[in-house]
């Protein structure tokens, strides 16, 4: 299991991905966030069209003589795929922590890669006042039960508002809703 600080760092990278999902510099900004928040200063993200380019890692300047290499595939569904490569110069090898972080990062970057390829999503102004309120409480980390208690409604009503907000914003889960609500 990873310590809480690693999850905070991972979330910071995902916040960057959410903020720049529709910008041309998506890959550069995510790579910079990976370097800043995860400490992987020597990384490469390759936008993949079709088959994975195995030779892409050979073109990276750090590829020559790099002692250790980690790579993972970011699957954006219909939004395409990307290859995330991290070079480690350490002689001790790639740590279990780094392997877990890379796995989680690739899994959670997928929807943002899909958003990068999709047309811009609708903004929060499309939400009803109650949907905005529920989305803000989700972003604050409250559970459905806590939201229901705070708004004096049933849990089923909270679920209906969540479903409506997620559909209008084009997101698939609470994490994406929370990131979009910030």
Q: Which structural domains are found in the chain, ordered by start?
A: 4-117 (no CATH), 124-181 (1.10.10.10)
Per-residue confidence (pLDDT) for residue 88, from 0 to 100: 73
Per-residue confidence (pLDDT) for residue 90, from 0 to 100: 59
Per-residue confidence (pLDDT) for residue 105, from 0 to 100: 92
**Strands, DSSP E only, in 55-144?**
68-75, 81-88
pTM, to two decimals: 0.59
Are residues 27 and 82 in contact, defined by beta-carbon separation less than 8 angstroms? yes
The span from the CA of 67 to the CA of 50, in Å, is 29
Per-residue confidence (pLDDT) for residue 57, from 0 to 100: 47
Per-residue confidence (pLDDT) for residue 129, from 0 to 100: 94
Per-residue confidence (pLDDT) for residue 53, from 0 to 100: 46
For the chain, what percentages of helix, strand and coil (3-state, to nearest 5) are there? 60, 10, 30
pLDDT in tens, the chain (182 residues): 788 999 999 999 999 998 888 888 888 999 999 999 998 888 888 787 655 444 444 454 444 444 577 888 888 887 788 888 888 765 556 788 888 999 999 999 988 888 777 666 567 888 999 999 999 999 999 999 999 999 999 999 999 999 999 999 888 899 888 888 76
């Amino acid at each position: 299991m990873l310590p809480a600080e690693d999850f905070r760092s991972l979330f910071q990278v995902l916040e960057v991905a959410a903020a720049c999902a529709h910008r041309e510099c998506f890959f550069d900004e995510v790579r910079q966030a990976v370097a800043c928040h995860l400490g992987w200063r020597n990384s490469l993200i390759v936008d993949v069209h079709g088959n994975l380019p195995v030779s892409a890692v050979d073109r990276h300047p750090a590829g020559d003589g790099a002692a250790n290499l980690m790579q993972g595939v970011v699957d954006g569904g219909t939004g395409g795929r990307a290859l995330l490569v991290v070079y480690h110069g350490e002689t001790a090898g790639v740590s279990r922590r780094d392997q877990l972080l890379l796995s989680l990062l690739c899994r959670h970057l997928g929807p943002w890669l899909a958003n990068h390829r999709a047309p811009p999503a609708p903004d929060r102004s499309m939400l009803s006042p109650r949907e905005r309120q529920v989305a803000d409480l989700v972003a604050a980390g409250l559970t459905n039960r806590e939201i229901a208690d705070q708004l004096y409604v049933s849990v089923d009503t909270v679920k209906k508002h969540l479903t409506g907000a997620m559909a209008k914003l084009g997101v698939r889960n609470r994490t994406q809703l929370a990131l979009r609500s910030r």
